[in-house]
């Protein structure tokens, strides 16, 4: 399924859902199901006033990494940089947190509300180097859409 077909589905989920967490779960499930190289899809959010991220809704293999300090791993780095991070090969990253031995690549896109980085969407793939500019732009759309729920 193409990203252009998924965009209205994301918009519909956000418009139709009764709760933020339910919407986020539906988005995770949709992306994991419909995009073959998205093997784990989840949201992390800033944990109150703490300098850490807390795992929110996700779809995929359970992870022990429910809390990630700012600066640690790809997600923690995005929490500080406020920039997208595409990792074609996780083994080439010194500051990578291994969540699953099958993960070969990762993309993390921050989620902004009123100019503040409040969280991110994190995608793991068991495919080496699958993420393109189209993935990045689509995930930016997802985060902009999700920001309307916050």
Q: Where are the domains of the chain?
A: 3-147
Cα–Cα distance, 65 to 24 (Å, whole number) = 18
Q: Does domain 3-147 have CATH number 3.40.50.720?
A: no
What is the pLDDT at residue 7? 98
**SS3 label, residue 60:** coil
> Do 78 and 110 form a contact (C-beta atoms < 8 A)?
yes
Residue 44: which residues within 8 A CB-CB, separation 6 or more? 53, 54, 55, 56, 68, 75, 119, 120, 122
Token pair recorded at residue 128: 């080496």
The model scores a pTM over 0.75: yes
Q: What is the pLDDT of residues 47-81, one digit of tens each?
A: 999 999 999 999 999 998 999 999 999 999 999 99
Q: What is the pLDDT of residues 73-119, one digit of tens each?
A: 999 999 999 999 999 998 888 777 767 778 999 999 999 999 999 99
Alpha-carbon dihedral sign for residues 3, 117, 42, 104? positive
């Amino acid at each position: 399924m193409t990203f252009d077909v998924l965009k209205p589905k994301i918009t519909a989920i956000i418009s139709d859902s009764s709760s933020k967490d339910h919407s986020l779960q539906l988005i995770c499930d949709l992306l994991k199901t419909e995009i073959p190289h998205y093997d784990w899809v989840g949201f992390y959010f800033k944990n109150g006033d703490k300098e850490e991220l807390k795992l929110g809704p996700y779809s995929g293999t359970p992870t022990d990494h429910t809390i990630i300090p700012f600066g640690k791993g790809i997600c923690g780095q995005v929490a500080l940089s406020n920039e997208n991070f595409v990792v074609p090969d996780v083994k080439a990253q010194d500051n990578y947190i291994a969540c699953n031995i099958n993960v070969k690549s990762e993309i993390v896109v921050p989620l902004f509300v009123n100019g503040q980085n409040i969280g991110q969407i994190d995608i793991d793939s068991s495919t080496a180097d699958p993420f393109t500019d189209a993935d990045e732009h689509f995930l930016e759309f997802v985060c902009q859409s999700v920001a309307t729920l916050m």
